[in-house]
Chain A
Amino acid sequence: MSLLEIENLSLRIGEAPILKDIDLSIAPGEVMGLVGESGSGKSMTALTMMKLLPHAARAQGRVTFDGINILAAPEAAMCRLRGDDIGMVFQEPMTALNPVKTIGEQVAEGIRWHTGVNRPDAEARARAMLERVGLPERQFPLTRYPHELSGGQRQRVVIAIACALKPKLLIADEPTTALDVVLQAQILDLLRDLVDENRMSLLLISHDLAVVADMADRTTIMRHGQVMEAGETARTLTEQVHPYTRRLAEASTHVPARAKPAAGDTSETLLKVEGVTRDYPIRRASLFAKRQSFRAVDDVSFSLARGQSMALVGRSGCGKSTLARMILALDRPTGGSIHFDGETLEDKSEDQLRPSRRHMQVVFQDPYGSFNPRHKVERLVAEPLHLLDEKPDAKRRRELVAEALEQVGLSASDMEKYPHEFSGGQRQRISIARAVITKPKLIVADEPVSALDVSIRAQILDLFADLNRRLGVAYLFITHDLTVARAITDRVMVMHEGRIVEAGDTHAVFDRPKTEAAKALVDAAPDLDRALRMRMERVSGG
């Protein structure tokens, strides 16, 4: 007898078909993984169960939860179900909590609403629940506001809200996507424990096969609003009967073909960072308090050879991005020096930096946010050309843009289009084209693939590898995703609390991490093969 049974569910929003004939069932106490790329309809499936769909959405089919016909249930009945029998955890912890209410109010609110207990009792239960999710009263009293908590802590509050009344079904929609790997592992552990303790069912939505392989008993794979394959997680992901499943699995462990770095090539230093430190002033508690500062980057030294590909990994807030900004001369170090291509950067004026800027470019995480939507691709890609000593004329400019677009696998005719006409992966190609147009010697890539789906991610990684081989450009990859670091870099630096704590050959460091910080990252990083191996052992053992 299943707790939740979805049969032939179809959904349209206005005229657009979103879901087609979805079948899905979840047994009591079962963990169901729902996997798919963005736009595959995972979240809409979940919102249908909660009946929290957008206004224009029309659903057909049958959704039965605990004997209740959800699609036909009146709003009042749904309000009784939501938060009591079905709890939901969302992707973005930074915005999921009401900023003007204390965490105590927000957890207690659902308890009071559903059980009708008085305020002190509800608060006592909220306190116990927050304690359970790892926010002890002493450090995190009920009177805290969300803005006083970090992302991981806020996600714990959201989980406390969702689980406060021990729902029969917990829906977690990409609950860890916005968190770093160490936090991800902690939150997944917490979810697993809560589900076990309370015999809840869990619908875990994720784009990450490794996470699902680690957590889910059964897995459903969706694409374009349809179910591709469903079954036991271990069997589905190892046998890979459906071609799409195989493609997803391959893409998520994809390693681009890369040329071994030639010995002669790497001898010449391109970038040398010596003893770099960056302090930020902390706002003073009162006018007369001593001015204090926070050391974001602490005495970092390393060097990068021409054509080399190096990863900078670490947890969020460890100083990776601050270091990258100083290398790109967007921020000045408090102490230490940076040499790029034979020039020092830290003491130059903006005018003097121009020749160096031409040789270092940047690719950001978000291919949506980094373009002005009102400019054509030609203008967007040509942007860095003002760094050249000789300004190219209009004809030469178009030639250069066409060349850059072809380098990244787009066509010259794409320069007439606007960014919204491209998919996420193509947009990331445009931002790479913008980076290579000045023929730089170094590209700093800040989480360049973490906003992309696995299949697109594989293609972009191939492109990075290809450009490295053909143009000899060096990379500094900033990422918290060790799979990406492993796939595309020769060397890695592990950063922790502003310091480089470990550095070396990428595979050597990840296979045998020496420091605590590196070990924590490696242990927490989701790994599809490892997760499947452990799942198989568990199945055969018990």
Chain B
Amino acid sequence: MTAYLAKRLAIGLATLLVASLVVFSVLEILPGDPARIMLGLNASPEALEALRSQMGLDRPVVLRYLDWLAGMATGDFGRSYTYSSPVIELVAERVSVSLPLALMALALSTAIAIPVGIFAAARRGRLSDTIAMGIAQVGVAIPNFWFAMLLVYIFAVGLRLVPAGGFPGWGEDWGGVWQGFKALLLPAVALALPQAAILSRVTRSAMLEVMGEDYIRTARAKGLPRRAVLWRHALRNALIPVLTILGLQFAFLLAGTIIIENVFYLPGLGRLIFQAISQRDLIVVEGVVMLLVASIIVINLLVDICYAIADPRLRTGR
């Protein structure tokens, strides 16, 4: 198990290093001079030159790369050109919205999808299975922004249970936390639905595949009722594909939620990246991308650990 984890960790760190190189070089090759963007098209060449040397843009590429790496290692991701504040602060502010949102959506989709998938698999071919999978099919097909608008219309505009958009911050006390939670509730539901639809289909097919295995028959021959076989023998074996999809979905939820953030006017990571790219705020783009790469590597590591917990055959370090 330790060997397995050490290997996964080493692979993760290597990936991070390669990613940093790619991110840095791509942004280096892209056209667009940050100094010119900051000063505007009419800036004098002297002022441009002064700003470039102040930002260190005139130094050799290799040195800048190493500086950048060293900075990130100590938590210094540089300063944003456009916001004039440290990238790490910008990101921290956005993460305080995006991470809870992603976790809420993930928890919701898992809580819906896994029971539904198991239920449908246990009643394969019956009416309840057909209905559950029909709903899942619709859930996959509906665009999430449309579903989000529907939610706003019903719960915010109609019933006035939650705010229609915006994010008040997490506040100072439990009341503030509750306000923040309420603001994230609809976006989380909107994000969770399509994820749950996909996840329930994956769960169902993984369960069905496992239910056809010989060891399920062995368990039945022991005298275990169908339900006990399902929970004790089938579920853990069906978890591997489910965990894979969960890991991918979490990664997506962290940064791929820009449409939902726009629908609900949420100051999340997705919008930060979008704005930074459109304003050529390279330092912010670099910093956020590196943080995302790192968090996806951490998620994958967690998924790998879950694999090893679920399946003892993976613990021998293959």
Residues of B within 8 A of A109 (CB): 219, 222, 224, 232
B204-235 with Cβ < 8 A to chain A:
213-215, 217-226, 228, 232-233
In the assembled complex, how far is the CB of residue B83 from the closest CB belonging to chain A, in whole angstroms? 46
Contact A96 B218 (CB under 8 A): yes
Contact B223 A110 (CB under 8 A): yes
Residue A98 CB within 8 A of the other chain:
yes
Contact B224 A113 (CB under 8 A): yes
Residue from A80, A95, A99, A162 within 8 A of B221 (CB atoms): A162
Residue B3 CB within 8 A of the other chain:
yes
Beyond A79-B223, A90-B218, is A101–B313 a contact (Cβ under 8 Å)?
Answer: no
Residues of B within 8 A of A113 (CB): 222-224, 228
The CA-CA distance from A88 to B213 in the complex, in Å, is 16
Residues of B within 8 A of A99 (CB): 215, 237, 311-313
Considering the complex, give the chain B residue whose CB is closest to the CB of A158: B218
Contact A52 B220 (CB under 8 A): yes
Residue A84 CB within 8 A of the other chain:
yes
Contact A92 B225 (CB under 8 A): no
The CA-CA distance from A50 to B222 in the complex, in Å, is 10
Residues of A within 8 A of B228 (CB): 113
In the assembled complex, how far is the CB of residue A468 from the closest CB belonging to chain B, in whole angstroms? 39
Contact B214 A96 (CB under 8 A): yes
Residue from B219, B223, B233, B313 within 8 A of A81 (CB atoms): B223
Contact A90 B223 (CB under 8 A): no
Residue A114 CB within 8 A of the other chain:
yes
Considering the complex, give the chain A residue whose CB is closest to the CB of B6: A287
Residues of A within 8 A of B237 (CB): 98-100
In the assembled complex, how far is the CB of residue A119 from the closest CB belonging to chain B, in whole angstroms? 14
Considering the complex, give the chain B residue whose CB is closest to the CB of A94: B214
**B interface size (C-beta, 8 A):** 24
Contact B221 A87 (CB under 8 A): yes
In the assembled complex, how far is the CB of residue B286 from the closest CB belonging to chain A, in whole angstroms? 34
Residues of A within 8 A of B213 (CB): 95
A67-112 with Cβ < 8 A to chain B:
75-76, 79-84, 87-88, 90, 92, 95-101, 106, 109-110
Residue from A80, A95, A106 within 8 A of B223 (CB atoms): A80
Considering the complex, give the chain A residue whose CB is closest to the CB of B311: A100
The CA-CA distance from A52 to B236 in the complex, in Å, is 22
Residue B289 CB within 8 A of the other chain:
no
Contact A82 B218 (CB under 8 A): no
Contact B217 A90 (CB under 8 A): yes
Query: What 1/0 flags go to A102-143 for Cβ under 8 Å of B?
Result: 000010011001100000000000000000000000000000
The CA-CA distance from A55 to B228 in the complex, in Å, is 18
Contact A83 B222 (CB under 8 A): yes
Considering the complex, give the chain B residue whose CB is closest to the CB of A100: B236
Beyond A95-B213, A100-B310, A145-B313, is A286–B3 a contact (Cβ under 8 Å)?
Answer: yes
Considering the complex, give the chain A residue whose CB is closest to the CB of B233: A98
Residues of B within 8 A of A95 (CB): 213-215
Residues of A within 8 A of B310 (CB): 100
Contact B223 A98 (CB under 8 A): no
Residues of B within 8 A of A82 (CB): 220-223
Residue A533 CB within 8 A of the other chain:
no
Residues of B within 8 A of A158 (CB): 218
Considering the complex, give the chain A residue whose CB is closest to the CB of B226: A75
The CA-CA distance from A169 to B228 in the complex, in Å, is 24
The CA-CA distance from A1 to B232 in the complex, in Å, is 39
Considering the complex, give the chain A residue whose CB is closest to the CB of B220: A52
A124-174 with Cβ < 8 A to chain B:
145, 147, 158, 161-162
Contact A98 B219 (CB under 8 A): yes
In the assembled complex, how far is the CB of residue A282 from the closest CB belonging to chain B, in whole angstroms? 13
Contact A83 B221 (CB under 8 A): yes
In the assembled complex, how far is the CB of residue A78 from the closest CB belonging to chain B, in whole angstroms? 8
Query: What 1/0 flags go to B226-255 for Cβ under 8 Å of A?
Result: 101000110011000000000000000000
In the assembled complex, how far is the CB of residue A321 from the closest CB belonging to chain B, in whole angstroms? 23
Contact B223 A88 (CB under 8 A): no
Residues of B within 8 A of A92 (CB): 214
Contact A76 B225 (CB under 8 A): yes
Residues of A within 8 A of B215 (CB): 95-99
The CA-CA distance from A55 to B237 in the complex, in Å, is 22
The listed residue with most A CB atoms (<10 A of its CB), out of B217, B221, B225, is: B221
Contact B312 A79 (CB under 8 A): no
Residue from A88, A90, A100 within 8 A of B312 (CB atoms): A100
Residues of B within 8 A of A84 (CB): 223
The CA-CA distance from A206 to B160 in the complex, in Å, is 71
In the assembled complex, how far is the CB of residue B8 from the closest CB belonging to chain A, in whole angstroms? 14
Contact B313 A50 (CB under 8 A): no
The listed residue with most B CB atoms (<10 A of its CB), out of A52, A81, A101, A161, is: A101
In the assembled complex, how far is the CB of residue B198 from the closest CB belonging to chain A, in whole angstroms? 24
Contact B224 A79 (CB under 8 A): yes
Considering the complex, give the chain B residue whose CB is closest to the CB of A80: B223
Residue from B3, B125, B218 within 8 A of A98 (CB atoms): B218
Residues of A with Cβ closer than 8 Å to B?
A: 50, 52, 55, 75-76, 79-84, 87-88, 90, 92, 95-101, 106, 109-110, 113-114, 145, 147, 158, 161-162, 286
A-B contact pairs, 25 of them (CB 8 A): A52-B217, A52-B220, A52-B221, A75-B226, A79-B224, A83-B221, A83-B224, A84-B223, A90-B217, A95-B213, A95-B214, A96-B215, A97-B215, A99-B215, A99-B311, A99-B312, A99-B313, A101-B236, A109-B219, A109-B224, A110-B222, A113-B222, A113-B224, A145-B312, A145-B313
Closest 7 CB pairs between A and B? A83-B223, A83-B222, A110-B222, A82-B223, A95-B214, A88-B221, A98-B215
Given A99-B237, A158-B218, 6 additional A-B pairs, CB 8 A? A83-B221, A90-B218, A96-B215, A109-B219, A113-B222, A161-B222
